[in-house]
Every structure is written in structure tokens, then in C-alpha cells.
Structure 1
């Protein structure tokens, strides 16, 4: 088609493409509108137009650029530029400015990022910071308020309430704080008296002490995660924490002899896994000094702590009480894996949905008292403040945003998308996709797609998915002081109940309607109470809580893939009808009643928002509607360990592009996505620098 310097097609081409036998036809017509070497580093006036056969221009591109660099080309550009003002070289975040210039050069590479999730925002910041002359653009399907993808918050407004209730739509606990700070230190442009670049962008992180409260179905409870560094705490806070820690030590010792001592030893083992696994296998930085401690922990006592055994197999040799085993493995819940050995699967299931013992490093990340990278934090203002800070970081580095841009296809050297009622194409030297890999591989890079501008939702089911989640966001008319910031409710009265409580993961292929009702069954779930750390989350005397209950993922229906997106989403929403949600709601309220002050909680719920796998599919285009992003080729479990996950570089129909995000390396969760974005951006900068146009 006919293209302008903002890459918007305006009408059909009137000549034959040089690729089919008439080279040189277009360059003479277009040459008088082009620049000399100035085109290398600046945007052309937006009024300049040229006829090309497509976004790349085929051989026209080389011929035109050769003319542009000639003396006559320079004269033509100077003459023309006197008649037309120059376009701005950078836009900010309103998505309304001119798009990048048509011609890419070593100094003016074009990068298009699909999705403003955590991976997209972080990668954009890093590339734009490393290559100031590059044009980095993010296309995001949602509006600006939903930038950050799953990482974000929303407000519930209730009639008669003195303020709003803030709820997290995705992550609710902040781990590996140094990864957040590193992003802002590497890319931040502000000078401030706040002390860190992160704070200068409004990101303030407060540690949660204790990190968790774990509640069992018989009402027994224990707190874990007491850091030795108490700087910033008042004397009264420290005294209360010491009392709570002593109570927890006593409770562990009641469950089994030397229970607390065994707990401390286990956390030290997990710290060795962390200190070796994080730099060497997650960050991909060789750090040999950590291997001796790792090998010692793995081999001592005849390999009792061998990291590649099923998690429960290691824990059952270290602990006697089912409650201690549950306490040491509840983090597996967050990555959609079960800790228990599955006799029906090879190697006890670690090749699929059973967590290997090395996943104990999650316990060290959250709960170890002295490890320099450990601790659970809360971002003040909620995770939407994290997203807001990252958007501002992008803007300070000149990243361009186009919001409400629904990407429909990746290929042909760029990205097809819909913006309002317009079909548009953005060509790029490099496309980086922050969309979920199973969804993108089926819906965005499907070579059999008949219409590149048709919006679809489907996913590649050759991947093995973890569980879905039903999330209840409840605005409560009273304060729930029995809850900590982070609470995990476990069913572990005996080993049989403990194993049964993970059945939704083991039987993940069953649909929600076929699954056993929860009301009288053992199950595990998580509760977040933001006001315990940040009082701005809700009105005084009230509370806002989020309850996450594992559930089956969406059951794929290939027959509806050709329907409109609206009809597809409506069909999938039907897999979680009111009967299913009523069962989940009643089961959760019954379990919560074991805590003082939470009896009859249903009477105090004044507003409810429910998210199901269908919701996550609709909002974020997640394959099977699973929020954890844990997928790999034909397997799960052990294959989720960093290097065995889908890699960044992909090829499709001869087009090279990259993936970044929770479905790729090194794993899911915001800090791992931040680590992955650094790896992807490094590869992207290297590629753009060594393969200039």
C-alpha cells in the first residue's frame, strides 16, 4: 500500500512491485521526498509520503536509502524540509503522536513490544535506556489504568462508605525487592532526596513482619518469617514480634519434638538452594562460590535433601508432623504445583505437576531470617503503584505507548493491530511479545490465520497447564484483626487430607463443573489483607480482602475458536457458573470461621468482585485462563526450572521475534519476570547492534 513516515497505510499502490520483475519503478517517484544522512538520526516531516509495496519496501527500500544518502538526495531533502515542520522525535504516554519513521538505521532502530505487562514495561525501559536513539513502542490492548498486566489494583466503591476499597487483581506480595530497585537504578533518570531511584518514582516497599500466618482447618495457626534485621521498627513493634515468634516456636515444638530446630535447619538448606540456584540457573550468571554449600546440602545424610526428588519425599524425611510438611511446602501453591509424590507419574510426577524439592528456594526467598535477598514486602499504594512507577520510568526513557491497541497478528516484519475502528500495521526491526506464550503461539502467530486483523482468543493446548484460580475480592464492613497481611489456610490434619487438599492440581484436566464440591473437602487457599500493612487500602474500621482458591483451568473448546471474541469469552465464562462459585464461596467462609471475629463473615460482605479463569482470559489473554503463566512443551514440574522453559527467541514464517513474561524464562512471578526482561533486553540490544539495517 501507500505508506507515510508514520507507517499508516492510506491507499493502494498504483505500480508493480519490483519483486515481480520491474525494479526501480518506485524509487524515482519516491526519491524527491527523502533525506540525506539526516534520515539516520531524525524523524522525517510527517507530511512526506512515498509509494512502497509494503512495510519493508523490499528492494525499493535499499534503492531509496541509497538515493537519500547521495548528494542529490540531500539537496532534495533540504528543499522539501523548508516547506514542512519536523515531527517530534519522542512521544510520551498518550499514544497520540506520530509513529516511528519508516526507515531504520543503526542509530534509529525500531522496537515494537506487544503488551504493557511487567515484562513489556521493564524490557522497554531497558532497551530505550541502552539505545537512546532507538524508537521503542508498546502496544497495549487495555487502557492506561490497566498497564502492568496482571500486576495491578482496582477500587470498589460502596454506597455509604467513607472511602474506597482497594483490591489486588494479580500479585499481592513483593519478593526479591532488590530486583525492583535494580530496574530503577539502571534506567532511572531522576534526581531526588528520597535515597533511591525507586522511591523517586513513587515506589515505596514495606516489609511484612511476620511474613505469613498459616492457619489449619482445626484452628491451629502459626506465624513464620521473622527477619533478624529490625531496623525501622519501633520498640513496641519489636516486642510484639518477639512474643509472636516465641509463640510460633512453641507451636512447632508441640507438633513434633525439636520442630522449630528442624524448621531452622530446613530454611538453611533452602537458602543454599537459593544462593546457588538464583544466580546460576535463574539469572544465568555463573557464580561458582555458591556450589560447595549447594552440593553439601544436596548430598549430606545420604542425599536426604536431594533437590530433584519430589518435595514431599524430602520433607517427610525431615519432619514427622503433617502440619510441618504443609508449612514447608505451601509456596508450591503459588506456582501451581503440588508437593506430593504422584505414584501414577514417572519419577513421582516431577516431570509434570509435582514440585521438586529445589522449589524450597521459595521458602528461603520469603522466610529466611538472615539471607540478604529474603523477605516479603508490600508496595505502599498497592501493586498499581508499581505499575504506575514503571510506566513513568518508560516515559522518562522516551518509550512510546499506544493504548487500546488490540494486536491481532505478528508477522510480515511487524505487528498488525486494531486501534479504534482502524486496522493498522507497525513495522519493526524487532518485535518483542509480552503476551502469554500459549495464547500468542495460537492466536497471534498462527500462519493459517485467514484475516490478520480478526481478533481471536484460543490457545495452544500442547502445553501442560497448572491450575486456575477463583479470586473473591470482598469489601468488608468490619475490621478482621485475626488476619495478617498474608494468610495461607491449609488442610493437614493427617497425611490423607494433606494430599487430598492438592487434588485440583493433580486432577487439573477436569472442568470446574465436574470437580468435587469443596464444602466438605480438604483444600488450600490464600487470603490477602492489605490493611494490615497499608491502612490506605480501605476505610477505617473496615477491611478489603482477596481470597485465592485453586480451581481447574479452562477446558479448551476448539469448535468456538472461529466465533467472535465476545461469544468465545461468554462461552468460557459459563464453565464457572453461579453454582460453582456459590460452592467455593460457602466453603471459604466456613473455613475462615475458625478464626476469632470471622464467624459469619458472609453477613459483613458489602461488595464482591469475582475473578475466574474466564476473567483472566478476557482481561489478559492468558492461555486456559491460568494466572501463573507456568507452561512448557508437553510437561510441567521439573520442566519449569528456568533453562528448561520456553526460550526468548522464536522464529515463525521466517520472522524472528522474542518473548518476555511469566510463561518464558526464567519463570513466573514479578521478580523473575524482571530478571527475564533484563536477559531479553540484553539479547535485543546485542541483536540490534550487530544486525543494523
Structure 2
């Protein structure tokens, strides 16, 4: 299920306001810290090339079924292109401006430094290639994909560091220095992880029975040390004795909004993807992906409506019949595809007697996201860096069990100029673009917006202080704070408001075992015909490769269930 799930991170769900809302300022002199809002000030440029209105509304030919798509995220774009190629008349309604196309895949430029606001790890590039090819595009003609080297740098809060990349000549020795015999155990763990990837992806992600790998997958799962219902942490304890090694090979669970203590053991496949297949980055930024898909959609005659929010999905009898817009207009169609987060759609856009019950659904961990522009490069950081607490179990238990922000926490850092120098647009190329994701508990259910803001502000203050403290323990970063020239932040309250994410959960529904694979909400609504879903909270799950795969599977399903000319 490997995915680029990092992050998280996302595209705005409310109309742009005229100015940034100033957040907490430190007592010492420092640049303003602002809540990140797209298109709110001239010094923040959000990615995306707006097509002329006439081009965005090219009429489609043919008499095939009409499809209304709610939202212009990457799942919508892939679905639209595939359906339009087969003769469906597709129209997309997006509440945000047109330079926000792509949903959570977006970027900003702050003080001459470019930042990814959404995904920052490109995993499984062949899934991207397959999806682009299905849409009539060549990924490698659209952009250059570069492998990140090293895969990760990792630092613990006791000051120790580690290069997490089997290509590193010191990798074996560094493992053995932590725990004697651990390199052989690492190879055995990776063998199991590879089996989970090879058997899990085709059978449980792409939902295609693959008999040549399934027996090996089942046999591996039935061994006590690899039993898939173990937690990831319990699984790792079968291989490693030290908590540090358990942490080094389980932190990826953060990217799907889980902890190693509630993530299923099968999530070892994330380790296999990153350490065996590699982590990649699109030179020039992730925004090129939705930009290319939008262009292809327009070539196929897909009609885009930006600044056009959908209020509700119209239902006649048992079938979806179109949508009602925020401005009161009604749009009729044969099929509706919803891309906003599934719980939000169920709770606010569907008649109460038809909706799926969401009260028992569980959510992934939100994040506080920091965007630090600096006038100095910090070489202690890799393209991807993970900072880990030595009190690893408590750092996660506080979040997922106690529902409180931990005193010592784990966090992810993205500094992409190591792979893509174009990230730094400051004079002389000096500086760094540093994004930090700090996981938090889901916001409490049933609280009002003011309370969400209050709690998020507390978590923001604690997270910022902890990040600065950890950076101060890393080589050459003791002066980090004084080199900040621009700083912006998004909190769980911001993510919830901007993307209609319940409880601020930017990764959507949790991928715990009871919401995994075939147990995850179906992309076909059980109570409303002709209503379908695409995105992170439906099958197969969150992260760009899974969302793209889900869009391809949805296309196949619609072709079976609602043929274009039937």
C-alpha cells in the first residue's frame, strides 16, 4: 500500500481571503509567522497555471452519459480523463480558484523558497507512469523524476544520527553498532516486507487476483513473526531487540496517519518500497502532475467550473441525479463522482436517510505543518529527514491512546533543494526550503470552531518549540531560528477548514485493519445508485499512488455498471 502519503497536505477548501491571519509571534525579533492561505498575499505564489476561461470549458462531443465530478483533486482529474476518453461527457465543479486544481497537490513560494504543500515523496513511479499512460500521457515527457540520495537521514533526540539507505557504505556497520546481528535480521525483515508488497499490491490494492504471488504472500502471513494482524511494532520486535531499530523501520506509518502501535504489520511494505525501490522527486515540483492531467482533460473536452462549490448531491428515488451548487443552481447528470473527503460528503451532501453511518469511522492523525524559509543551507538535513523520540512508545501512545500532544514527539522534515536546486530562488541560490510535519491527535469530536482554533494553537506552540529544540541538537543547526526569513504554518484546525477534513485529519480515514482494503468504504455508494467516490478515504486508501489506482479501478467499474451508451 505504499504511497507517497506524506503528507499530507492539501489544497484550499475555502475562497481566498484578502490577507494572512497572523499567528503566534515570538518575543524575540523574527519574521512574522502566518497561517498559510493560498492567493492571499503577493509574496506567496501558489502553483498552477490558470487556463483561459474559454479553454477550461471546451464542449464535449458525442451523446454518451453525463458525469458530474465534485472537486478537482488528482483522483478527479484521472477519473475525468479516463471517462472522457471513453465518450462520457464530464464536468468538474471545484469550489476553489482554478490555480488550486489538483487538490492536496500544491505548492507555494515563500521568501524565494518553493514549498510542497502536499505530497513530498514520490513512491512507486511506475504507478504514475501507468496512470499517465492510461490517460494518454507520457510521464517522462512531462517531467524528470530523480531518485533521492540518501533515502533518509534520521536523528534521535539524544543527538545520535543515522543514514537510512542500504546504498550507503556504512549502512551495515551502523546497524551492527546499534544491535549486534541486526544486519542479518534486517535482510530477513526486508524479505518479508517484499513479499507483503509483491502479494499485497496486486491482490488488495489493485483488487486483481494474482495467483502466482498469492500463495507466497499467504504462507508468509501465516508464520508467527509475520502474522498480518500483529501491529507493526509487534512485527518488528520479532526481528530487532532495540527500540531505535524498531523506530527506524516503522516511522513511515506516520505518512498514513497511523502509529507503529496501531498500524497493521503488513505496512512493512512501506519500508520495502522506500529502501528497495527508492524514493523519488519530480524536478520542478509535484504541481506538474495535476497541471499535466488538467491539460489532458481539457484536450478531451472536460468542462471545468472553478469557484463553484457543491452544496449537495441530488437524489431522485434511489439514484443520484446531479448536484445543487452553493449559488442555488442545479446541474443534472447521469452519474456523480465525489472527490471531497468521504465522511464530509456523507454527513453534509447526502440525504440523512441515505447516508452511510460515519460515527464509528476512525481518523488518521492530523499534522501541524511548518514552512521555514531560511537564508542559510543546513547540511545536517537530507532531502528527507526523520526526527525520532527515544521515548518512542510514549510519543505515539500520547497521540493515539491518550489524545494529547506528547512532550517528546517524532516529526518529518522535507528539504528538497538537495535533489532539485530550483527550489531555492533567492539571490545567489542561498538558503533552504524546510517543511516540517508534526503529527497530533485528531481534534475532539463535536467542538466548535473557536475550540478547534484554541487547541490547534496550543499544539502549534508546543510543536514549534519542540522542533527548534531538536534542530538545536543536530550538527550545524544550533543557529537555525535566527536564519528564518519567512515562516508559515497550517494547523489541524486549518486543514479541517480548508479541506473539509473531519477532526483535522489531513490523511482522511485511518488505515487501521478494520478500514483497510476491502473493509474500507466502497467507492460505490451502497444506498444510492450512480454515486461513486474517489480519494483518500475510499478504497484503496490514501496517498497519490493509491488514489490514482483507485481512479483507474473506478473507471473500470463505471464502464461495467454504467456503460457510456447503455
| TM-score category (smaller protein) | 0.7 to 0.9
User: Is it true that 1:174 corresponds to 2:122 in the alignment?
Assistant: yes
User: Is it true that 1:198 corresponds to 2:136 in the alignment?
Assistant: no
Q: Secondary structure at the match of 2:189?
A: helix
Please say if residues 468 and 550 of structure 1, whose CA atoms lie closer than 8 Å, have aligned partners that are also in contact: yes
Pick from 225, 233, 237 the counterpart of residue 312 of structure 1.
233
Per-residue CA distance 1:260-303 (angstroms, 9 max, x = gap): 22212211110001000000111111111112332343345xx2
- Bigger drift between 259-268 and 605-614 goes to 259-268
Q: Distance in 1 between matches of 2:207 and 2:560?
A: 17
Q: Decide whether aligned partners of structure 1 residues 687 and 475 sit closer, same or farther in structure 2, where only a CA change above 3 A counts.
A: same
User: Is it true that 1:367 corresponds to 2:275 in the alignment?
Assistant: yes
Q: Distance in 1 between matches of 2:56 and 2:182?
A: 62
- Structure 1 unaligned blocks of 5 or more: 1-91, 159-163, 190-196, 227-241, 341-353, 369-373, 450-458, 561-567
Q: Distance in 2 between matches of 1:469 and 1:589?
A: 17
User: Is it true that 1:154 corresponds to 2:108 in the alignment?
Assistant: yes
Q: Distance in 1 between matches of 2:360 and 2:499?
A: 20
Q: Decide whether aligned partners of structure 1 residues 589 and 394 sit closer, same or farther in structure 2, where only a CA change above 3 A counts.
A: same
Per-residue CA distance 1:593-643 (angstroms, 9 max, x = gap): 221111131111111110111211222211222111124xxxx61123211
Pick from 438, 441, 445 the counterpart of residue 350 of structure 2.
445
Q: Report the equivalent of 1:466.
A: 364
User: Is it true that 1:355 corresponds to 2:263 in the alignment?
Assistant: yes
Q: Report the equivalent of 2:12.
A: none
Please say if residues 337 and 505 of structure 1, whose CA atoms lie closer than 8 Å, have aligned partners that are also in contact: no
TM-score, normalised on structure 2? Answer: 0.85
Q: Secondary structure at the match of 1:649?
A: coil
Q: Report the equivalent of 2:495.
A: 616
Q: Report the equivalent of 1:480.
A: 378
Q: Distance in 2 between matches of 1:93 and 1:181?
A: 28
Q: Report the equivalent of 1:600.
A: 479
Mapping of residues 415-430 of structure 1, within 5 Å:
415-418=323-326, 422-430=327-335
Task: Name the larger-Rg structure.
Answer: 1
Please say if residues 95 and 400 of structure 1, whose CA atoms lie closer than 8 Å, have aligned partners that are also in contact: no
Q: Distance in 1 between matches of 2:54 and 2:349?
A: 22
Q: Report the equivalent of 2:400.
A: 506
Query: Which structure's relative contact order is higher, taking Cα pairs within 8 Å and 6+ residues apart?
Result: 2
Please say if residues 57 and 305 of structure 2, whose CA atoms lie closer than 8 Å, have aligned partners that are also in contact: no
Q: Distance in 1 between matches of 2:383 and 2:547?
A: 24
Q: Report the equivalent of 2:318.
A: none
Q: Report the equivalent of 1:334.
A: 255
TM-score, normalised on structure 1? Answer: 0.70
Please say if residues 304 and 314 of structure 1, whose CA atoms lie closer than 8 Å, have aligned partners that are also in contact: yes
Q: Distance in 1 between matches of 2:93 and 2:283?
A: 28
User: Is it true that 1:224 corresponds to 2:175 in the alignment?
Assistant: no
Q: Report the equivalent of 1:136.
A: 90
Pick from 413, 416, 440 the counterpart of residue 527 of structure 1.
413
Q: Report the equivalent of 1:236.
A: none
Please say if residues 370 and 489 of structure 2, whose CA atoms lie closer than 8 Å, have aligned partners that are also in contact: yes
Q: Residue 96 of structure 1: CA displacement?
A: 7.9
Q: Report the equivalent of 2:444.
A: 555
Q: Secondary structure at the match of 1:423?
A: coil
Mapping of residues 205-220 of structure 1, within 5 Å:
205-220=145-160
Q: Distance in 2 between matches of 1:126 and 1:468?
A: 32
Pick from 53, 71, 74 the counterpart of residue 94 of structure 1.
53
Q: Secondary structure at the match of 2:417?
A: helix
Q: Report the equivalent of 1:573.
A: 453
Q: Secondary structure at the match of 1:467?
A: coil
Please say if residues 257 and 365 of structure 2, whose CA atoms lie closer than 8 Å, have aligned partners that are also in contact: yes
Pick from 161, 166, 169 the counterpart of residue 246 of structure 1.
169
Q: Secondary structure at the match of 1:289?
A: coil
Q: CA RMSD in A?
A: 2.3
Mapping of residues 8-87 of structure 1, within 5 Å:
none
Q: Distance in 1 between matches of 2:368 and 2:125?
A: 27
Mapping of residues 541-690 of structure 1, within 5 Å:
541-557=430-446, 568=449, 572-577=452-457, 579-631=458-510, 637-652=512-527, 656-689=530-563
Please say if residues 334 and 530 of structure 2, whose CA atoms lie closer than 8 Å, have aligned partners that are also in contact: no
Q: Decide whether aligned partners of structure 1 residues 215 and 97 sit closer, same or farther in structure 2, where only a CA change above 3 A counts.
A: closer
